[in-house]
């Protein structure tokens, strides 16, 4: 029987109770990884970890707020305590808040909360995760960005867009700094997805159509499609990739971005 693509690896995935994180946790486990399912939502997070164990895999659930340093430190510590090491850090947790609008109408607290989770959460994941990756002899960090960091959004969401641009910048600098340590850092940039996060934001048919009209494939992506892209970045198949942005977006950026 062939080994899975993540056989022998330990992966920590934030935002793993739903959407991309959930699908990635299930897929990574299927491919042989032992998985730390990290989320604020306990019931849903425990359910994902339980589903992995019931399928014959190994998983723990860790409740953590990625924007809190003590929680970020603890999620890494609990992963190492349970599985002995950390090989893959998937900083996937993120928020897209309903009152996120243009610069004039977005409340300051919405901007701050978005940055706390989407940017500081990635920073703290790396702050405490990188020492664990060093102890393991290297590994892969995946940060969830977004196509809007390149294009901007047709439906205004200034805080979210700016935060994902920051994630891309963080990814590039981390990749350069840690390349000689056998630590790879890449960004996954999904296009518009049929996930709870986006559908709550695109809460009318008019808003959904404003997005769909720009996508050459003419449909929203699925979380499972993003999980398969994350699997590639997590695995040794992407061993010569670092500092890269992997766009999985139905062709939307190809349709609107002019090559430099």
Helix (H, G, I), strand (E, B) or coil at 90: strand
Owner of token pair 């959904």: 208
115 included as an active-site residue = no
* Residue 8: other Cβ atoms inside 10 A: 11
Spatial contact of 155 and 211, defined as CB atoms under 8 Å apart? yes
SS3 92: coil
Domain boundaries, the chain: 10-249
Q: Is the CB of residue 74 less than 8 Å from the CB of residue 62?
A: yes
Q: Look up the pTM and report it.
A: 0.94
Give pLDDT tens digits for 85-131: 999 999 999 999 989 999 999 999 999 999 999 999 999 999 999 99
Per-residue pLDDT of the chain (260 residues; tens, 9 = 90+): 458 999 999 999 999 999 999 999 999 999 999 999 999 999 999 999 999 999 999 999 999 999 999 999 999 999 999 999 999 999 999 999 989 999 999 999 999 999 999 999 999 999 999 999 999 999 999 999 999 999 888 788 999 999 999 999 999 999 999 999 999 999 999 998 887 777 777 778 887 887 788 889 988 899 999 999 999 999 999 999 999 999 999 999 998 876 66
Q: What is the CATH number of domain 10-249?
A: 3.40.50.720
Which of 115, 128, 160, 256 does the annotation list as catalytic? 160
Per the document, the length of the chain is 260
């Amino acid at each position: 029987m062939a080994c899975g693509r993540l056989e022998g690896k330990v992966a920590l995935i934030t935002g793993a109770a739903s959407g991309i994180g959930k699908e990635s946790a299930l897929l990574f486990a299927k491919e042989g990884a032992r998985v730390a399912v990290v989320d604020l939502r306990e019931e849903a997070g425990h359910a994902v970890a339980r589903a992995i164990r019931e399928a014959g895999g190994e998983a723990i659930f860790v409740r953590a707020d990625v924007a809190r340093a003590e929680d970020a430190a603890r999620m890494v510590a609990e992963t190492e305590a349970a599985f002995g090491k950390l090989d893959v850090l998937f900083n996937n947790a993120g928020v897209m808040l309903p009152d996120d609008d243009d610069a004039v109408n977005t409340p300051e607290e919405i901007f701050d909360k978005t940055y706390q989770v989407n940017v500081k959460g990635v920073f703290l994941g790396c702050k405490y995760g990188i020492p664990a990756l060093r102890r393991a002899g290297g590994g892969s960090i995946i940060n969830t960005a977004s196509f809007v960091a390149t294009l901007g959004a047709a439906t205004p969401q200034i805080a979210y867009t700016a935060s994902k641009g920051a994630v891309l910048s963080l990814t590039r600098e981390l990749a350069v700094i840690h390349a000689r340590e056998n630590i790879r850092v890449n960004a996954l940039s999904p296009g518009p997805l049929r996930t709870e996060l986006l559908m709550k934001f695109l809460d009318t048919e008019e808003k959904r159509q404003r997005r769909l009209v720009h996508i050459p494939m003419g449909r929203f992506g699925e979380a499972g499609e993003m999980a398969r892209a994350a699997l590639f970045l997590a695995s040794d198949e992407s061993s010569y990739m670092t500092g890269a942005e992997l766009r999985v977006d139905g062709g939307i950026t190809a349709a609107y971005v002019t090559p430099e």
